[in-house]
């Protein structure tokens, strides 16, 4: 699998259209995304001492073919909500290798955090972010990949159960 494909379907579309991917921090969404990264790093969901978990394969999946997904509840700036962390692995990643060394071949990390009711009611109140492995927030064609990201909510709106989560229907739909 090619490295650019791991960056996700949206990145692949952008690259195909001549766009570029830039890792950057920006504005209020970037600041919130930074606080979110710090919290999930503290829980060892990401970072150099990230918890290991069993990877799974998802061919044709927007986030890449080899993934680890973790879920927890966190509080960011006084807002408590569910968080899903998806670590996407690149070419050469193997199940045993990822279990032994969770940061080897890590391409990017995408995160869903369900904010307070009213944050984005049309999209389940989810805050979306894409990070480089070092925690820098992604940007695509000048748009910060954090906050109300239409390409994320647009895809996840099709998840069964109305909760924007494809892996399970464990959260009530908003």
Q: Which two tokens stand for residue 87?
A: 């670590």
Work out the average pLDDT over 76-103.
90
Residue predicted with more confidence, 161 or 36: 36
- What pLDDT, on the 0 to 100 scale, is given for residue 147? 93
Residue predicted with more confidence, 15 or 112: 112
**What's the chain's length in residues?**
174
Residue predicted with more confidence, 15 or 60: 60
Residue 113 CB-density burial (10 A; 0-12 exposed, 13-18 middle, 19+ buried)? buried
CB contact at 8 A, 108 and 133: yes
Q: Report how far residue 152's alpha carbon sits from residue 4's, in angstroms, rounded to the nearest whole number.
A: 17
Q: Return mean pLDDT, the chain.
A: 80
| CA end-to-end span of the chain | 36
pLDDT band at 173 (very low <50, low <70, confident <90, very high): low
pLDDT band at 122 (very low <50, low <70, confident <90, very high): very high
SS3 label, residue 69: strand
CB contact at 8 A, 90 and 68: no
């Amino acid at each position: 699998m090619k490295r650019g494909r791991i960056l996700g379907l949206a990145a692949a579309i952008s690259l195909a259209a001549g766009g570029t991917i830039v890792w950057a921090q920006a504005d209020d969404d970037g600041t919130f995304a930074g606080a979110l990264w710090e919290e999930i790093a503290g829980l060892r969901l990401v970072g150099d001492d990230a918890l290991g978990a069993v990877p799974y394969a998802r061919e044709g999946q927007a986030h890449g073919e080899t993934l680890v997904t973790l879920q927890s509840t966190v509080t960011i700036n006084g807002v408590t909500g569910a968080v899903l962390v998806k670590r996407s692995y690149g070419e050469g990643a193997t199940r045993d290798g990822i279990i032994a060394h969770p940061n080897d071949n890590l391409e990017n990390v995408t995160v869903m955090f369900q904010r307070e009711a009213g944050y984005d009611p049309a999209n389940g109140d989810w805050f979306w972010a894409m990070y480089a492995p070092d925690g820098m927030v992604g940007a695509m064609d000048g748009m910060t990949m954090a906050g109300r990201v239409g390409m994320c909510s647009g895809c996840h709106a099709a998840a069964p159960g109305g909760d924007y989560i494809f892996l399970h229907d464990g959260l009530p739909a908003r």
